[in-house]
Amino acid sequence: MSSSSAGGAARLRLLAEAGVLAVVAAGVLLDSRSYPGSLAEGAPGPAFFPRLLAVLLMGCAAWLAIRAARQPPESDAGRSRGNARTGSGAGRGARLGLGATWIAVFLLVWPRLGTVASVPLLVAGLMWLTGERSRLALISVPLAFAAFIYLVFIVALGVPLPSGF
Amino acid sequence: MSAFFDGLLTALQPGNLAALLAGSLLGVFAGAMPGLSSTVGLALVLPVTFALDPTPALLMMVSIYMAAEYGGSITAIAIGVPGSSPALATTFDGYAMTRRGEAGRALGISLFSSMSGGLLGTVLLVLALGPLSRAAIAFGPAEYFGLGVFGLSIVANLVGKDPFKGIVSALLGLLFFIVGLDVLTGAPRLTFGTNALMDGLGLVPMLIGFFAIAEALEAVTGRRRSTPPGDGIAGALPKARELFGLWRTILRGSAIGGLIGAIPGAGATIASIVAWNEERRVSKTPERFGTGLPAGIAAPEAANNSCVGAAMIPLLALGIPGSASAAVLLGGLTVQGVAPGPLLMTERSELVYALYAGFVVAVLLMLAVGRLGIPLWTRVVRLRPSILMPLVVAISLVGTFSLRGNAADAWAALFFGLVGFAMLRGGYPLAPAVLGLILGPMIETNYRRALSLSSGSHSIFLESPISLVLILLAAVSFAAPAVRSRLISGRTRAPEPDTHDGPDTHDGPDTHDGPDAYDNEPRHEEHE
């Protein structure tokens, strides 16, 4: 990646961060219209603090945008080296998506399958995604861990974890 | 004194000793499991205590409370995930020591400091029950607001080399606390009509998301965590000389924990963060905090265990619980027919003295249980990351669910995991956001209450000497790092331009050292 394109990427990243902050702040401002800004006797209402924070976040977004405009083109060269070292961004993004999706799937099926059945699936999937390839480990660790959760949380402590159908 | 020895004899009776030992084991476990905490441990054991006499029931509960405060540091040190929120500050230096292969040393320092803090907190409880109770009730909304602002000023020491990103992080943390019903009016804020958000996002899901799930996602994206180097476990334990060399730090931490713990609602989390920050402030090398300094573990651990005894002061003297755990304890006392308050000392003095002695025995049992557990925990940190991280995620999600039996908490943990991952990628430190979520309710609620009392006049914050001093201290604390860095940069040559401040090189401000641990190459250790 050339210096100028690396600088462009850094500028884009700062602008994206500014955009996220601005959207969050705007959302807070919009939502805060539904509750009172002040109460009787001069006391601030529930909208006061969210609006204050939204204004501050807007200021931060503006400052990030200014930083993006001032971003020198060569300042992100080191970052591009870092990318080269750790692999492609697309590949990492795909693995991140898979990891987050796997956890979300676990949270969805947990109440239906129950803790003892779903926890081994979560553990085995994450082990696979983090690079574990030993079949013995992929089978024994999740099962042993499910037994631990069952004995300690459900039997010994009586925690009402989802039991499934 | 003879009354104390009578209490000691009571606490050492076989049944009471068994209750204390069971409490220590359960407390260390509850504290060490991310998602569980002393409060959850106490709540879980509460039904069991119904079947016990008041003395063993109370002793079991104080033992859980005490041991859980130490237990929280175990996972904070071993895997960088605070087992409970008071162990957050311990993560800063504790996990850095683990990455250097000094997990046993860090755990030993934590255990010794917790024990010392617990004992000093007990001494404080015995000596200051009366006077501190009166001081604690002098705290009104203006004073609590001052305390919250003072706590938030610590952000200035957590922001690293890009203060702007630290401030953004703190603002996001403050924003997260707003989600849910407004405490004063009941108005739903940022809930978007969703019932699941009415209870708010919660601190535990945030801690789990930021410190466990974000780290697991880092592992999934291919950044390998190198197994910490380690020598023999016995050799890794701290030497007695090193432990006793920390006495000033432990005294300071215990004093801070004792003072803050006695204030109802302030809690061990704030105490431990303030203690860590004060230790950093008085240090001759503040820039080394966060890179694995023993004092960075000793101060917060002494503070959070000292808080346990101190939290009992308003509980026993006034019937006001100083923390959520103390509130559960209050419930246990009430069920046993014990009414805390000014008459407790006269009507149930034998129980109070047994409690004093029980604290001492509980601390010693915590030391024994903790010491025996250190070899186990130092083995845990040497597990392969591809095994350790999935187990951390799973136990964190189960623990988060256990907190309130609410699946929404587990979803919130996933949300915070993704937010934390994105913030780390962008070089935004996580600790200020956590601090914002912890202190937000104290700041906002008491600001509005104070203005309500003063009919909108801000002079209420200046008329109270406590509030004024706290606000001034906050101003000093906030400005000090900037002034110090300006003085230092004035004395030294300007450094060469840093070309490595992108997120991928991980030397941005990062209290949570997690992702950096996945880099096999050495990096400049820094702390915000």
ipTM here:
0.87
CB nearest to A157's CB, from B44, B384, B444: B44
Cα first-last separation, chain B: 47
Helix (H, G, I), strand (E, B) or coil at A150: helix
Comparing A123 with B351, the larger pLDDT belongs to A123
Give CA–CA dist B394/B173, Å, rounded.
Answer: 25
Q: Which of A31, A74, A103 to mutate to test the interface with B (most CBs of B within 10 A)?
A: A103
Strand partners for A44: A38
Tell me if A104 and B505 make a contact (CB, 8 A cut-off).
no
- pLDDT score, position B157: 64
Q: How far apart are alpha carbons B228 and B236 in whole angstroms?
A: 13
Cα–Cα distance between A120 and A126 in angstroms, integer?
A: 10
Give the residue on A whose Cα is nearest the Cα of B223: A86
Contact B221 A157 (CB under 8 A): no
Contact by Cβ (8 Å): A95, A130: no
**What is the rounded distance in angstroms from the CA atom of residue B316 to the CA atom of residue B195?**
37
Burial of residue B465 (CB within 10 Å: 0-12, 13-18, 19+) is exposed
State both tokens at B140: 């009104």
Asked if B64 contacts B499 with a C-beta cutoff of 8 angstroms, the reply is no
SS3 A44: strand
Instruction: Give the closest-approach CA distance of B164 to chain A in angstroms.
Output: 8
| Strand stretches in B441-505, DSSP E | none
pLDDT, tens only, B362-396: 999 999 998 888 888 777 766 787 888 898 889 88
Mutation target for A interface from B391, B415, B423: give the one with most A CBs within 10 A.
B391
Q: Taking a C-beta distance cutoff of 8 angstroms, is the pair B58, B20 a contact?
A: no
Given a cut of 60, whether residue B324 has pLDDT beyond it is yes
B375 touching A (Cβ < 8 Å) = no
- Pair B190, B398: CB distance under 8 Å: no
Q: Determine the residue of chain B that is closest to A132 in CA distance.
A: B386
**B217:A100 CB<8 A:** yes
Q: Count Cβ atoms below 10 Å from residue A117 Cβ, excluding itself.
A: 16
Domains identified in chain B, total number: 1
Query: How much is the average pLDDT of A30-49?
Result: 84
Which of B21-30, B42-51, B208-217, B401-410 has the highest average model confidence (pLDDT)?
A: B21-30
Amino acid at A7: G
Q: With an 8 Å Cβ cutoff, are B395 and A76 in contact?
A: no
Interface contact B217, partner A, CB < 8 A: yes
Residues with Cβ within 8 Å of residue B256, at least 6 apart in sequence = B271, B274, B275, B278, B299, B303, B306
Q: Is B508 left (phi over 0), alpha (psi -120 to 50) or beta?
A: beta
Q: How many CB atoms lie within 10 A of CB A162?
A: 18
Lowest mean pLDDT across B34-43, B398-407, B418-427? B34-43
Whether pLDDT at B495 is above 60 = no
What is the per-residue pLDDT for B31?
Answer: 82
Whether the full predicted model's pTM is greater than 0.90, yes or no, is: no
Reported as a single tens digit per residue, the pLDDT across B437-471 is 878 888 999 999 999 888 888 999 999 888 998 89
pLDDT at res. B81: 82
pLDDT higher for B286 or B497?
A: B286
Q: What is the DSSP string of B140-185?
A: -HHHHHHHHHHHHGGGGGTSTT-HHHHHHHHHHHHHHHHSEE-TTT
Q: What's the pLDDT score for residue B130?
A: 61
Q: How far apart are CA B268 and CA B259, in angstroms?
A: 11
Q: What is the pLDDT of residues B248-281, one digit of tens each?
A: 999 999 999 988 887 766 678 888 988 998 898 8
What pLDDT score does B249 carry?
93
Can you list the alpha helix ranges (DSSP code H) found in B384-430? 385-404, 407-425
Residue B196 pLDDT grade (very low, low, confident, very high; cuts 50, 70, 90): confident
Mean pLDDT of chain B: 79
Q: Do B407 and A110 touch (CB under 8 A)?
A: yes
Instruction: Look at residue B28 and tell me whether its pLDDT is greater than 80.
Output: yes
Residue A50: which of B178, B216, B222 has the nearest Cβ? B178
Nearest to A57 among B171, B407, B451 (CB): B171
Instruction: Pick from B215, B220, B380, B516 the residue to mutate for testing the A interface (most A CBs within 10 Å).
Output: B220
Q: At what angle do helices B267-282 and B431-453 cross, to 10 degrees?
A: 110
The answer to whether A77 contacts B167, with C-beta atoms less than 8 Å apart, is: no
For the cut 60, the answer to whether the pLDDT of residue B51 exceeds it is yes
List the one residue out of B446, B179, B442 whose CA is nearest residue A43. B446
- Which pLDDT tens digit goes with each residue over B391-416? 888 988 888 887 778 888 899 999 99
Residues of A in contact with B397 (CB under 8 A): 103, 106-107, 122
What share of chain B has pLDDT > 70, as a percent?
81
Instruction: Print burial letters for B109-135: b (CB count within 10 Å at least 16), e (below 16).
Output: bbbbbbbbbbbbbbbbbbebbeebbee
Cβ of B185 under 8 Å from any chain A Cβ?
A: yes
For residue A51, give the chain B residue with the closest CA. B175
Residue B160 has pLDDT above 70, yes or no: no
Identify the CA nearest to B430 among candidates B199, B200, B88.
B88
Considering only CB atoms, which chain B residues are within 8 Å of A42?
451, 455-457
Closest approach of B452 to chain A, Cα-based (Å): 5
Q: Considering chain A, what is the average pLDDT of its residues?
A: 85
The domain of B166 spans 2-76+84-527
Report whether pLDDT(B514) > 60. Answer: no
Can you give the pLDDT at residue B127? 83
**With 90 as the cut, is the pLDDT of residue A62 above it?**
yes
Are the C-beta atoms of residues A161 and B398 closer than 8 Å to each other? yes
CA distance B145 to chain A (A): 14
Rounded to the nearest angstrom, the minimum Cα separation between A83 and chain B is 7
Q: Which helix (H) or strand (E) holds B249?
A: helix B247-261
Q: What angle do CA B88, B215, B38 make, to 5 degrees?
A: 35
Portion of chain B with pLDDT greater than 90, in percent: 21
- The predicted structure's pLDDT at residue B415: 93
Q: What is the mean pLDDT of residues B288-316?
A: 89
**Residue B220 confidence class, pLDDT cut points 50, 70, 90:** confident
Residues of chain B numbered 426-465 and touching chain A (CB < 8 Å): 426, 444, 447-449, 451-452, 455-457
* Banded model confidence at residue B522, pLDDT cuts 50, 70, 90: very low
- Candidates A86, A98, A159; nearest CB to B504: A86
Those of residues 488-517 in B touching chain A at CB distance below 8 A are 497, 499-505
Instruction: Point out the residue among B185, B394, B447 whose CB comes nearest to the CB of A123.
Output: B394
Query: CA triplet B186, B188, B191: central angle to 5 degrees?
Result: 155
Token pair in block for residue B53: 């006499």
Distances (CA, A) of A116 to A122, B30, B322, B329, B398: 11, 20, 37, 32, 11
Contact B387 A36 (CB under 8 A): no
Do residues B370 and B70 make contact, with C-beta atoms less than 8 angstroms apart? yes
> Which positions 158-177 of B are in contact with A (Cβ < 8 Å)?
164, 167-168, 171-172, 174-175
A91 to chain B: closest CA residue: B221
**Which residues, other chains included, contact B202 with Cβ-Cβ below 8 Å and sequence gap of 6+?**
B403, B409, B412
